[in-house]
Amino acid sequence: MISFSIHGVGVSSGIAVGHAQLISNALLEVVHYQLPKYLIDDEIKRFSDAIATVTNDLELIHSSLRNNSPAELSAFIGTHLMMLADKSLSEIPKDIIKNEQCNAEWAIKLQMDEIVNQFEQIEDEYLRERKQDVVQVVERVIKVLLGHPSQLTTDQQTSAQHSERKVILVAHDISPADAIQFKQHQFAAFITDVGGVTSHTAILARSLNIPSIVALQKARDLINDGELIIVDGSQGVVIVNPDKSILTEYKLRQDQWEIEQQKLQRIKLTKAVTLDGASIELFANIEVPEDVAKVKAAGATGIGLYRTEFLFMNRREMPDEEEQYIAYKTVAEDMKGAEVTIRTLDLGADKQMNPDTVVTCANPALGLRAIRLCLSEPQIFHTQLRALLRASHYGNIKILIPMLSTLAELRQTKLMLERAKLSLRKQNIPFNENIALGGMIEVPAAAINAEAFAQELDFLSIGTNDLIQYTLAIDRTDDTVAHLYNPLHPSVLKLILMTIKAGEKLGKSVSVCGEMAGDAKLTKLLIGMGLRQLSMHPSHILSVKQKILQSEMSKLNANARKVLGLTDIEKIEQLVAKYNDI
């Protein structure tokens, strides 16, 4: 077996050794080819066989669902079976194969596009969204036609959980909705062909604390199912079929990495205070209530960012008020009075409710996402605000609004919050009347106008992931421009500083909850710029704390001023690296 290495962008550190499990994104692989007339009947048979196989698979899953499986899962598979039985999917593609003399994959994809198009014209939103089911069913058929094992199925997830072998997922791309499911399963690492450093998929990899690499370009083509691979998340390198000596060397490095992680545990209970006595609060970012255990294990002060959108993913219906209330209340109670900052729904852009959602707007990161989406869907927003307020009675909850760009959005949000409070008062449902309201500063317009926002808010939280994306006009999920995505761009630093100053002037606290907060190489710079609160994935807290314990605030302030005086990225990088080492 030939050994080779592939290079990408490491997004979550650590080393994993395991066997590759390829995940197919069948729709991307469909090619169009013409067939001679004499092969058409065979092609139609190939198509019918694929439909029969998928029907069989789905019926098996349907009958094996246990009584305690969610009812919606059963209904969901039932819908897929119905769609598959419908003439439009099981018969019309045969006509297409015949008339166009084309391959079966192409025929069913053409038909899928046609059906999806018809669904898009439907007024009713629920029915319109059912186009996802069509896409999912067709994807299953195409996978069978292409001879691939199906995507991350329940079976595969369970086998990863029970197998002795470590499984490394190899995919063209993994959506945040897919990645959130990994929290319940034990994959050793995952690697993808595309993606950026601060895409939500990468953020989830860091929260899982498993090595991960994106932007490998052709990993899915070059790696075969079952092959032994090494993933070095720190270096962004994948080694396929390593020989014995390489394997031994990496196992050594893996052990060293684990020893270093364990050493850090010694400072778990130590307060994050600089050598000259400045105290820094280290908060944690979470995606689901189950993450609270990790928050506690890392000794975080509280939760600085709870990304609630993950509660809305991989399901057909939005969670209702009760379900949301229970999730928020559980986190607040588990944190026993420590601060829990819960961000309202930030769906849109790369965070879609379902992995297979076909994004139709031209520029989703600039489109109807986050607070814009919530304000355009007042009922969804009202439900979430009521759930948050109800939960606020049971702990120290603060509300955080994502993606603010105008004061009008903020004022409208405040009106919505008042409306939610009023409805609860009328029902005599208790909540914290003085619940704090904060805003994410993640759009340059908000950073430039931070004083005005600070005046009308209780606190600010800088979302550097989006702030960098929007300041530099670089899609955070696009690997082709990932090399230009730089947190140390002087304009990004200036916007962060403006926000810190606005908070200082108006006496409002400012934190950073983007990925910059968890990068220990940037800790000295950020606190030197005046930040006293950082929120990051629990797995980063100890390495950031270690930096703080070695720092002297008086020096950091002077150093940060020098960095901020520079206009050249390379010079900034050099100076930050130099200060970081002393």
Q: Which of 80, 102, 172, 200 is catalytic?
A: 200
Does residue 348 interact with ligand PEP by CB under 6 A? no
Q: Using CB under 6 A, which of the segments 11-19, 28-36, 242-250, 461-469 binds ligand PEP?
A: 461-469
Nearest to 94 by CA among 42, 148, 56: 42
Distance between CA atoms of residues 287 and 283, nearest Å? 14
Does residue 463 interact with ligand PEP by CB under 6 A? yes
Does residue 10 interact with ligand PEP by CB under 6 A? no
| Residue 407-446 contact track with ligand PEP, rule CB under 6 A, x = bound | -----------------------------------x----
For residue 463, the minimal CB distance to Mg ion (Å) is: 4
Does residue 466 interact with Mg ion by CB under 5 A? yes
List Cβ neighbours of 173 (8 Å cut-off, separation of 6 or more). Answer: 25, 192, 193, 194, 195, 201
Distance between CA atoms of residues 281 and 344, nearest Å? 22
- In three-state secondary structure terms, 434 is coil
| CA separation, residue 26 to residues 167, 428, 510 (Å) | 21, 53, 45
Q: How far apart are the first and last CA of the chain?
A: 46
Contact by Cβ (8 Å): 398, 434: no
Among 93, 463, 503, 538, binds Mg ion (CB under 5 A): 463
Q: Using CB under 5 A, which of the segments 52-60, 200-208, 258-266, 437-445 binds Mg ion?
A: 437-445
List Cβ neighbours of 482 (8 Å cut-off, separation of 6 or more). Answer: 9, 196, 197, 215
Q: Using CB under 5 A, which of the segments 156-164, 267-275, 384-392, 465-473 binds Mg ion?
A: 465-473
537 binds, among Mg ion, ligand PEP, none (CB under 5 to 8 A by kind): none
- In three-state secondary structure terms, 527 is helix
397 binds, among Mg ion, ligand PEP, none (CB under 5 to 8 A by kind): none
Q: Using CB under 5 A, which of the segments 42-50, 154-162, 167-175, 457-465 binds Mg ion?
A: 457-465
Distance between CA atoms of residues 274 and 468, nearest Å? 28
- In three-state secondary structure terms, 398 is strand
513 binds, among Mg ion, ligand PEP, none (CB under 5 to 8 A by kind): ligand PEP
Positions in 104-133 near Mg ion (CB under 5 A)? none
Q: How many helices (H) and strands (E) does the chain have?
A: 26, 16
Buried b (16+ CB within 10 A) or exposed e, 446-467: bbebbeebbeebebbbbbbbbb
Q: Is 200 a catalytic residue?
A: yes
For residue 346, the minimal CB distance to ligand PEP (Å) is: 5
| Residue 504-533 contact track with ligand PEP, rule CB under 6 A, x = bound | ---------xx-------------------
Binding site for ligand PEP (CB under 6 A): 203, 305, 307, 346, 442, 463-466, 513-514
Binding site for Mg ion (CB under 5 A): 442, 463, 466
Catalytic residues: 200, 513
